[in-house]
């Protein structure tokens, strides 16, 4: 059986706001991974979102931490593996692309998961991450609902994951692991409402939010590249030997030779 947390989160993705979220993320994944080349690609978690659908790598896998997450009605990638996300069954530097659709939020140890992704990626390999943004209208509604829940009132807007990781914190983790952020985009600017009717009425906020408050979208989408720094030899630099230039040299003559030359002239 899958964990109750996963069950609640996956059930929420079938609601109108969950479908709105997945629709935006699906478009971002399709555009981003289409032109990423290599041989081996991997998706960690969330089988309902096919993040590698448009990618053309010959080997693509879906890794889950619980096989019960696979629903018969949901299409998945070719191969499905069962593994702990912090101990992937792949050798070091063997994958060209790894996607993390809300994986860090649902992971028991997100930092270990990200470190394992760094291990299995080849140099210049890419990781694509999407996550819920706590600095947004959705994040504000979530924090307010969790506060009221302490007194037995209501329920959180999004079933509470282990943690909503702020983009700045994720960026610091990526830099610590020698990742370089290649691009970041924010989306999902409509308010935290439940009904499809109100989501439709507030669709104008997507355009306004992208223009006027871009970093406060309900979800962020990050593409990062694994950089491997080259060795730098420190020490005194050796200078090349300069070419010797010809120069006139004065030659001292002896007294005898000077006297002989004088006698010859006479």
- The pTM of this model reads 0.80
- All domains of the chain, ordered by start, with CATH? 4-226 (3.40.50.150)
**pLDDT value at residue 65:** 81
C-beta separation of 121 from 99 below 8 A: no
d(CA 246, CA 122): 55
**What strand order describes the sheet that includes 59-64?**
79-82, 59-64, 40-44, 95-101, 121-132, 219-226, 179-187
Residue 54 has pLDDT above 60, yes or no: yes
HEC states along 75-91?
CCCCEEEECCCCCCCCC
Q: Identify the band that residue 176 occupies on the pLDDT scale cut at 50, 70 and 90.
A: very high
d(CA 129, CA 11): 21
**pLDDT value at residue 62:** 93
Structure-model confidence comparison of residues 161 and 96, the more confident one = 96
Handedness of CA 214, 30, 41, 106 (dihedral sign): positive
Rounded (5°) CA angle 46-187-226:
65
**pLDDT value at residue 117:** 97
Q: Give percent above pLDDT 70 in the chain.
A: 77
Other Cβ atoms within 10 Å of 19 Cβ, number: 12
Torsion angles phi and psi, residue 158, rounded to 5: -105, 130
pLDDT digits (tens, 9 = 90+) for 246-258: 555 555 555 555 5
**pLDDT value at residue 81:** 87
């Amino acid at each position: 059986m899958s964990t109750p947390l996963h069950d609640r989160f996956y059930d929420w993705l079938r609601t109108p706001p969950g479908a709105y979220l997945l629709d935006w993320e699906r478009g971002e994944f399709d555009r981003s991974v289409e032109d990423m080349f290599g041989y081996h690609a991997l998706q960690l978690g969330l089988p309902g979102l096919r993040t590698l659908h448009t990618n053309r790598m010959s080997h693509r896998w879906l890794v889950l931490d619980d096989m019960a997450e696979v629903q018969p009605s949901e299409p998945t990638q070719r191969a499905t593996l069962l593994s702990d996300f912090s101990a992937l069954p792949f050798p070091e530097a063997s994958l060209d692309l790894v996607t993390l659709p809300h994986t860090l939020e649902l992971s028991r140890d997100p930092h270990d998961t990200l470190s394992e992704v760094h291990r299995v990626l080849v140099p210049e390999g890419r990781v694509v991450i999407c996550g819920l943004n706590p600095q947004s209208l959705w994040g504000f509604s979530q924090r307010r609902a969790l506060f009221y829940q302490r007194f037995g009132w209501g329920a959180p807007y999004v079933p509470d994951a282990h943690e909503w990781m702020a983009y700045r914190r994720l960026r610091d983790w990526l830099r610590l692991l020698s990742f370089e952020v290649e691009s970041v985009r924010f989306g999902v600017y409509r308010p935290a409402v439940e009904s499809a009717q109100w989501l439709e009425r507030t669709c104008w906020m997507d355009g306004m939010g992208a223009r006027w408050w871009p970093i406060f979208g309900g979800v962020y989408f990050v593409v990062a590249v694994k950089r491997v720094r080259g060795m730098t030899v420190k020490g005194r630099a050796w200078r090349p030997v300069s070419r010797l230039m010809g120069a006139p040299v004065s030659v001292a003559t002896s007294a005898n030779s000077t006297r002989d030359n004088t006698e010859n002239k006479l």
